[in-house]
């Protein structure tokens, strides 16, 4: 039986744009417009601003992303927990590629 925490993370990973946003913010904070462009480039579908905004708000509420205002403007950036989750998701992806059978 899975714990609630594991189910929460699996549901987060299924949420539209969540993984793409986390990956885009992995190496640097980004302004909204640059983040929208990065996520759009990674997607085969149109990324609507409302969906991006809703998912960013969700990731902020879960403590994975911060919206930081400074003298040069506002940026989105990963929290420590967000960075750890991105690393964990990369490891899961590596595992999946290694153990995926050609018949699936």
For β-strands 73-78 and 65-70, DSSP reports them as antiparallel
The pTM of the full predicted model, rounded to 2 decimals, is: 0.84
Q: What is the pLDDT of residues 46-84, one digit of tens each?
A: 899 999 999 999 999 999 999 999 888 899 999 999 999
Rounded to whole angstroms, the Cα distance separating 33 from 47 reads: 12
- So what's the pLDDT on residue 12? 82
Rounded to whole angstroms, the Cα distance separating 4 from 23 reads: 24
Provide the mean pLDDT of the chain.
Answer: 90
Domains in the chain with CATH codes = 4-99 (1.10.10.10)
């Amino acid at each position: 039986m899975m714990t609630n925490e594991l189910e929460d993370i699996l549901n987060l990973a299924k949420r539209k744009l969540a993984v793409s946003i986390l990956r885009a913010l992995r190496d640097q904070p980004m302004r909204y417009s640059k983040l929208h462009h990065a996520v759009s480039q990674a997607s085969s579908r149109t990324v609507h601003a409302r969906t991006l905004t809703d998912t960013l708000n969700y990731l902020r509420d879960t403590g994975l992303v911060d919206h930081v205002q400074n003298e040069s403007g506002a940026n989105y950036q990963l929290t420590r927990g967000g960075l750890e989750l991105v690393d964990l998701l990369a490891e899961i992806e590596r595992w999946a590629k290694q153990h995926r059978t050609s018949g699936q």
